Each structure stands twice: as structure tokens, then as C-alpha cells.
Amino acid sequence: MNGFGFLLLTVHLLAAMVWVGGLVFFVLVGVPLARKNPQWQLAPALGRAFRPVGWAALIVLLITGPLLLAHLGVGWPVLREAAFWRSPFGMTLLAKILLVAFVIGLTIWHDRVSGRYPEKGALYAAVRFAGRAIGVASVLIVVAGLALARGY
Ligand code: HEM
């Protein structure tokens, strides 16, 4: 890997840290603090403040990911071959792309509806479930990324 590849990987990893780290901070620090101090209205405020940061990180990941692929020699001609998607690298990549699409779709929905529901209703439960699903899927994306980088 040359200097440019290393730079891409560094930016990709830093963006992944910001995205996943932000989610972990929210769940392990923000949510418990918000529960202890409901009068602060902390959870929605933290959620709104993290939104631009999280989206910036996701966009950086969406740009650097395909660039990394191209840098590894996986460009359009390779991506168009069915045999590529049957290889271990191709299958891991497919799983990763599907998980990324799932996270982005669910994050858009979560951002649109969170804060606009009465607490304890069915939508409240759905938004909480979506938040957890985003967290779990994001961790799986990291595992897929690590597997890709190690050629599994
Ligand atoms: C939420 C979005 C994403 C996260 C959290 C994420 C995270 C990661 C992580 C942690 C690694 C491991 C790096 C290493 O150990 O060296 C990685 C590698 C990689 N990611 Fe992503 N990634 C995301 C999106 C994407 C997308 C959309 C693509 C391409 C379509 C992509 C393509 C790659 C590739 C090709 C590697 C391997 C790089 C190498 O072997 O040097 N990633 N990713």
C-alpha cells in the first residue's frame, strides 16, 4: 500500500471511530445521564448535536470506502464479475455494503421521527429499537471492515 492508500485508510478509520465512538458515547454516557436527569432533556439535545457530526463521518466513509476498493484494484471491471461476489472478499464486501445501506436507511428514518413522538408509545419503542439496530449493525460493519483488510 502506497502513501495515498495509507492516507485513505487512516481517514476511513478515523471516520469509523467518530461514527461508532459517537454511538458508544451516546449509549454509555448520554443515555444513563439523561435517565438520571430527565429535566435536562439531554437525549434529544445530544442526538441533535451529534447529527451533523455523524452524517459527516458517514459521508467520509462512503467516499473513502470505494476509493480504498479502487486502490486495492477492485474497480468497476472487477465489481461487474459474478465470480468476484462469490469470493470470500466479495461476500464480505457485499455483507458490509448491505449493512451500510441498512444503517443509512435506518438513520434517516430515526433522524426524521425521533423527538416527534409521545414518550412510551409504539413509535417511541420503534425508535429505541432502531437506535439499537443501528449500533449493532455499525459494530458488524467494523468487523466486516477488519475482515476485508485482513483478506478473509
Ligand atoms: C459505516 C460505514 C463504515 C465503517 C464503520 C467502516 C469501517 C471500516 C474498518 C474499521 C475497516 C478496517 C480497516 C483496517 O483494519 O485496516 C475498514 C476497511 C475497509 N472498508 Fe470500510 N467502513 C465503512 C464503510 C465502507 C464502505 C461504504 C466501503 C466500500 C463500499 C468500505 C470499504 C472498505 C475497504 C475496501 C476496507 C479494506 C481496506 C484495506 O484492506 O486496506 N467501507 N472499514
Span 55-95, pLDDT tens digits: 999 999 999 999 999 999 999 999 999 999 999 999 999 99
- The pTM score is 0.92
Q: What is the dihedral of CA 53, 54, 59, 61, to 10 degrees?
A: 120
pLDDT (average), residues 90-110 = 97
Write the DSSP symbol of residue 121. Answer: S
Q: Is 94 in the pocket of ligand 1 (CB under 6 A)?
A: no
Nearest alpha carbon, ligand 1 atom 41: 149
Q: How far is Cα of residue 98 from the mean position of the Cα atoms in its chain?
A: 11
Sign of CA dihedral 43, 48, 49, 55: positive
C-alpha 117 – ligand 1 centre gap (Å): 35
Q: Is 16 in the pocket of ligand 1 (CB under 6 A)?
A: yes
Nearest alpha carbon, ligand 1 atom 5: 16
Decide if 137 contacts 103 (C-beta within 8 A).
yes
Q: How confident is the model at residue 99 (pLDDT cuts 50, 70, 90)?
A: very high
Decide if 46 contacts 26 (C-beta within 8 A).
yes
Amino acid at 106: L
Decide if 83 contacts 55 (C-beta within 8 A).
no
Nearest alpha carbon, ligand 1 atom 19: 145
Extract the C-alpha cell encoding 10.
487512516
pLDDT (average), residues 37-45 = 89
